[in-house]
Structure 1
Amino acid sequence: METSWPELRKACLLLEDEAVLALNKPAGISVTGERHDTDIVDMAAARGETLYPVHRIDKVTSGLVLLAKELPAHGQLTRQFNKRTAEKAYLAVTASTGLPDRGVIDLPLSVGRKNRVRIAAPRESIRRDGDTWLVDEQDVLAGKNYPSVTEFTTLARTDSHTVLALRPITGRRHQIRVHLAWIGHPIVGDPLFDRSGTFARTHLHSWRLVLDAPWRPTGTLELEAEPGADFWRVGDAIVATDPRQLLSSASELIARTTPTGH
């Protein structure tokens, strides 16, 4: 995606103060550190602006990304991600149906061949207990693995797709993408897992973020990035006829108690 930093900054700006910059990133642009790619941090640096990523979202993922403009704020914010006190929510469209209204995916992750993230257990050992997907301890593969939990709420259904709001309780690399794919509900357009067709983008979006921000008058950062029209269109189909109303309802839904069993 060819664009200049001033153009990207202006088009995607959600919030800016003396300490942070929040952007609604398009799919297809890296945040930082991706080989052979020009990323947001490099683009800004080339124009004399130093930014420190507070968190990362994948290149294929659109939506909210928070960057610090100074190191003290960066330290305060990244600690909240490390301690899992940052409140995060994503949106996704799966190339499948049959998911419950609410669910929990409690599956450990590991890194396999070619540095690919996978579930740390054989696929056939994954079982569903009510609305929770899990594996028994004896089925977890030997070696290093990372406990990983994703909660989700179903927002809309069509004959062939499902729109989800998700909260990654842990923040592992590719967590949402791997969790959904391994329970049989891959994200539409995911280059790692979706083999259902050719799509313009991956339908995963970083939607909401709430963190403590002592330097702000309210003491908090409450950020929300609305997905673009391309998120709601899958091929020739529209998966939500009134996205703003859907997201308004979703804000209340994701705040409710998670399913029994988590």
Structure 2
Amino acid sequence: MDLDWHSVRADYTVFADDAVLALNKPSGISVTGERHDTDLVELAQAAGTQLYPVHRIDKVTSGLVLLATDLAAHGPLTRQFNNQTARKTYLAIVADADLPDRGEIDLPLSVGRKNRVRIAAPREAIKREGDRWFVDEADLLPAKNYPSRTDFTTVARRGEHALLALRPVTGRRHQIRVQLAWIGHPILGDPLFDRTAALPRTHLHSWKLGLDANWLTPPVLDLEATPGPDFWTPLTTDPDEAAALLEAAKTGG
């Protein structure tokens, strides 16, 4: 993807002030730290702008990413992610078989071979009771594991697919992607887990973000990034129906 920082900032800015910049990142662009790609931080730096990522979203994920432009704002914002007080909501389109209207995925993560994130237990040890997925402590693998929980609401169903609004209580790397795949509902187009179709993008979107921001009045940063038309294609190509689905997510998610 041929990128120009001034075009990226003009096309994708959701919010900007003297302390932060929030972008509605397209799928396919890295935030930072990708060895073989030009990422947003590198792109901005080449244009004379220093960015300090407050958090990261995967290259394949679209949507909100918050970057500090004032180093003094970076620490207080990052700590809210570390302390799990940041309020995050994602949208995802998944394979739907028997998803409940609301659910809780309480499955710890670990890191396996080649630095791949996985559930910290054998797949067959995953249990479901009602609307909750979990593993017993006795079934955890003998390696370091990280408690990880995601709550979700099923917003809409269209044939074999469903639109979910997801709230990651924790914020582990690849958390939503791994947990959904291991309970049998992979995100459509996910190159790690969806083997059923070669879709042009992964249908995971960082939708809403809420943080305390003491330099603002009131001292709250509430951000929202609308998904682009390409996000909705497994469900609809009708812009009006996509808008109705987004409104349903706001009401129920």
Which bracket does the TM-score occupy, shorter chain normalised?
over 0.9
Cα deviation for residue 239 of structure 1 reads 7.8
**Equivalent residues in 2 for 1:83-232, closer than 5 Å:** 83-232=83-232
Q: Where does residue 233 of structure 1 map in the other structure?
A: 233
Letter of the 2:69 partner, please give it: K
4+ runs deviating over 6 angstroms: none
Q: How many residues align?
A: 252
CA distance in 2, matches of 1:17, 1:175: 30
Give the 3-state SS of the residue equivalent to 2:93 in structure 1: strand
Q: Check 1:114–1:72 CA distance in 2 against 1; reply closer, same or farther (3 A cut).
A: same
CA distance in 1, matches of 2:233, 2:189: 11
Cα deviation for residue 33 of structure 1 reads 0.5
**Equivalent residues in 2 for 1:4-153, closer than 5 Å:** 4-153=4-153
Cα deviation for residue 70 of structure 1 reads 1.0
Letter of the 1:250 partner, please give it: A
CA distance in 2, matches of 1:55, 1:38: 18
Cα deviation for residue 244 of structure 1 reads 2.6
TM-score normalised according to structure 1 size? 0.94
8 Å contact from structure 2 (residues 236, 242) kept in 1: no
Letter of the 1:182 partner, please give it: W
Give the 3-state SS of the residue equivalent to 1:193 in structure 2: coil
**1:99-144: CA deviations, max 9, x gaps?**
1100000000000011000000000010101000001110011110
Cα deviation for residue 218 of structure 1 reads 1.5
Cα deviation for residue 158 of structure 1 reads 1.2
**1:196-224: CA deviations, max 9, x gaps?**
01101000000000000010121110000
Identity %: 65
Letter of the 2:241 partner, please give it: D
Give the 3-state SS of the residue equivalent to 1:209 in structure 2: strand
Q: Where does residue 245 of structure 2 map in the other structure?
A: 246
Give the 3-state SS of the residue equivalent to 2:166 in structure 1: strand
Cα deviation for residue 24 of structure 1 reads 0.2
TM-score normalised according to structure 2 size? 0.97
Letter of the 2:245 partner, please give it: L
Gaps of 5+ in 1: 255-262
Give the 3-state SS of the residue equivalent to 2:181 in structure 1: helix
Cα deviation for residue 171 of structure 1 reads 0.2
CA distance in 1, matches of 2:77, 2:237: 34
